[in-house]
Amino acid sequence: MPIDRNLKCILLDDEIPSLRFLKMLCEQIPGLEVIKAFNDPNALLKEYKELSFDFCILDIEMPAFNGFDIALELKGYPIVFSTAYKQYASDAFDINAVDYMRKPISLQRLEQAIFKVEQALNSQPEISAFAQFNTNKGKAILYFDQISYIKIAEVDSRDKTVFLTDGSTLLLKNISFDKLLDMLPEQDFIRINKKEIIATKIVKFFSADAVTSNLLDEQDLPVLFNLGESYKKMFLEKFS
C-alpha cells in the first residue's frame, strides 16, 4: 500500500528487539523515514521538540511512563500504538490515536497504519496565518508574523495595544488575553506576565525574572520584559 507523501516518524519501545524489528519494518515502506528510534521515554521527552517528524509509533507498557503519558505530551502529532496487549484499545481511541497495532506486527499491518496516518495528516486543517480584530480604526486583518508583542492598553484595560514589526501600533478593542491566546498560534506566542504577551521570535536572552528582546527602544537599547512568577514555568518549558 504505497503512500503518496514522504512521512517522517519517531519510534518508542523500551524492548530493544521489538524496537529494532519495528524500525526494520518501517525501512521497508517507501516514502517513510525513521528520524529516531527511542528505547527510553525520558530521552524522547527531552529530544522530541528538536526533531522534525510527522507522527510517532509507540509502545504502551514501559517503566516510568506509559504510552498514554507520551501521547498526551505529543499533542498535535498523530499517534500509532504498538503493543502486545489488547486491553488498552478503547483507551487508545479515547485519546484519538490513529491506529492500534497488536504485536507481533506484520509489514502489511504496519502499511495499513501508515496509510491511516497519511489520511489523518491530509485531513488536518491548515493553520491560519492571520485573524480579524476589532480595532480603534475599524475591523482589521492582522497577520500573526506582523506581531512583536501585545500589552494591556494604558487607558482601558479591556483593550490591548499590539506592537508590530514595522514599529507601528494598533489598539485592539475589548479583547481578553485568554481570547488572544486562543487566536494566536501557540508555538509562536507566550504570555509572560499579567500585562503582556510576546512573540517567541523576539526573545534574545532570558533570566529568572526578565526577558531581553531583539527589539530596540528609542535609545537603541534592547527592550526588556518582566517575566512574572506565575508564568515562569510555562516560559521555561517552551524554551527548554
**Domain encompassing residue 55:** 7-123
Number of compact structural domains in the chain: 2
The stretch 111-121 carries a mean pLDDT of: 93
| Statement to judge: residues 137 and 54 lie in one domain | no
Task: Report the distance separating Cα 112 and Cα 96, nearest Å.
Answer: 17
What's the pLDDT tens digit per position in 148-164?
A: 999 999 999 999 999 99
**Ramachandran category for residue 78: left, alpha or beta (phi over 0 → left; psi -120 to 50 → alpha):** beta
What's the pLDDT tens digit per position in 46-58?
A: 898 888 899 999 9
Q: Is 221 among the domain residues?
A: yes
Percentage of residues in the chain having pLDDT higher than 70: 93
More confident call, 34 vs 84: 34
Confidence bin at 122 (pLDDT 50/70/90): confident
Cβ-contact 27, 34 below 8 angstroms = yes
- Is residue 127 scored above 80 in pLDDT? no
- Is residue 13 scored above 90 in pLDDT? yes
Task: Report the distance separating Cα 162 and Cα 179, nearest Å.
Answer: 14
CATH of the domain at 18: 3.40.50.2300
Q: Is 35 among the domain residues?
A: yes
Task: Tell me how many degrees the CA angle 71-100-187 measures, rounded to the nearest 5.
Answer: 25
pTM recorded for the entire structure: 0.54
Give, as one character, the DSSP assignment of residue 145.
Answer: G
Residues near 196 by beta carbon (within 8 Å), at least 6 away in sequence: 149, 150, 151, 152, 225, 226
What's the pLDDT tens digit per position in 155-199?
A: 999 999 999 999 999 999 999 999 999 899 888 999 999 999 999
Q: Do strands 99-102 and 138-143 pair parallel, antiparallel, or not at all (unpaired)?
A: unpaired
Cβ-contact 172, 135 below 8 angstroms = yes
